[in-house]
Amino acid sequence: MKELSLKGEERWRVLFREGKWLVGLYVPENRKREEVTKLERHDHPELFYLVDGKVKLVLESEGKVMEVPLRKDSAVVVEEWHNAYGKGRVLVVEREGVKTEFKTLTQPPER
């Protein structure tokens, strides 16, 4: 057994790596929606699970930008362009060695 600490404030820390998958702890660098100016997208899906705090994902799909609050009782799988804001910690599961694209957010998210 290996116990993983879910504490810390660094933006991204890999907690566990096995085969083609890794688990990390993500702390959004953006505190407010207005600070989200870039989006990213990977060539494989990612799973997000809120550990604590209040964090919202900013997603863009088919030209529409939306906000999705993360909840402690539910995980979300993201394949869209995304970023996040808020104060909290999020457990992320993703493929090892994903290819990542970046783009500028061109419109404000819908509330």
Show me where the domains of the chain are located. Answer: 12-104
Phi, psi angle pair for 34, to nearest 5°: -65, -20
Q: What is the pLDDT of residue 2?
A: 87
Q: pLDDT digits over 24-38, tens only? A: 999 999 999 999 999
Q: pLDDT digits over 5-56, tens only? A: 898 899 999 999 999 999 999 999 999 999 999 999 999 999 999 999 999 9
Instruction: Report whether 34 contacts 24 (CB < 8 A).
Output: no
Instruction: Report whether 68 contacts 36 (CB < 8 A).
Output: no
Q: What is the pLDDT of residue 13?
A: 95
Q: pLDDT digits over 58-71, tens only? A: 999 988 999 999 99
The third-level CATH classification (topology) of the domain covering 12-104 is: Jelly Rolls (2.60.120)
Residue 36: CB atoms within 10 Å: 22
- The tally of CA atoms less than 13 A away on the side-chain side of residue 94 is 24
Q: pLDDT digits over 91-107, tens only? A: 999 999 899 999 998 76
pTM of this structure: 0.89
Q: Residue 25, exposed/middle/buried by CB under 10 A (0-12, 13-18, 19+)?
A: buried
Q: What is the pLDDT of residue 63?
A: 86
